[in-house]
Chain A
Amino acid sequence: MNGESIQSTVANRTPRPEPALLPPVDIVEDAGGITLTADLPGVEQNELSIGIDGRTLTLDAPLRLGEADSLVSVYAEVRANRYRRSFELSTELDTTAVEAHLKDGVLTLRLPKLERAKPRRIEVKVGS
């Protein structure tokens, strides 16, 4: 990246994005689709936003711990209160049939493949 493009990136960045945590993920593909597992501790189910815009999948959620305002932080390894991460989806995935499940701070997202994109076995006929 050269200096000019850094400057243009900074200039274009309005409004400035809020600092966000990048959740760690596991991504596994099998014949039927892709399974994405993400660690999102401290996220309420109704506050998790899973957005699909064109080919981009975006996870966005606030991290909430508690409501004690008088709490003074003495040590922090997690230093932001929002998770955000985006993924580019390939065209063979069916974005209308995505299934999501959040349990104990772990999100499991199933992205099935379109019927036409599933692997098929092609019989090879022996010409006689």
Chain B
Amino acid sequence: MYPSMLNPSGDLFADFAQLQDRIDELMWGGRGASSIRAVSRAGAFPALNVGTWAEALEIYAFAPGIEPASIDLSVEKGLLTLSGQRKSPEKVGKDATVYAKERFDGAFRRVISLPEDSDPERVEASYRNGVLKVVVPRQEAAKPRQISVNR
């Protein structure tokens, strides 16, 4: 899918995380699972992936179990702000025992600095399978174009 997303290069922290992955693999290889580091360790919710192509910047926010209408998305002075709240749906009864509570619960807010050539007027967002996809188009003038050489 996005092979380059799996191996971000030139980032010291990413390299370190990869080393950590290798160690985990050696220690826990038999289990066949490694942790979703950015979510469970850094604690940021929702986790973000950002990709770019000629026409636009695409931001993927991993925000499962949220009513799309309740997500607050705004662009101001080149900053895209994503905020909202995720609540645990049901109250745990008196006779119930909680064995794990790893899922995020509460208010969240993440801010992304947009590139200068982005066009805030045409930002579009969609929500599918718990992933919020925000498309920030680049301004017409900033799109790469071929220039033919005349002789």
| Interface residues, chain A, with chain B CB atoms under 8 Å away | 1, 6, 9-10, 12-13, 16-17, 19-31, 34, 37-44, 64-66, 68, 70-81, 84-86, 103-106
Contact = CB atoms under 8 A, between A and B. Distances in A.
Given A42-B129, A66-B133, A6 B64 contact: no
A71 B58 contact: yes
B32 interface: yes
Contacts of A39: 62, 64-65, 103-104, 130
B26 A65 contact: no
Interface size class of B (residues with CB under 8 A): 35 or more
A103 to B, nearest CB: 8
19 contacts: A6-B27, A17-B32, A21-B34, A25-B102, A29-B96, A40-B130, A41-B62, A41-B129, A41-B130, A71-B53, A71-B58, A72-B52, A73-B4, A74-B52, A78-B5, A78-B39, A78-B60, A80-B6, A81-B2
Interface string B29-72: 11111111111101010111111111001101011111000000
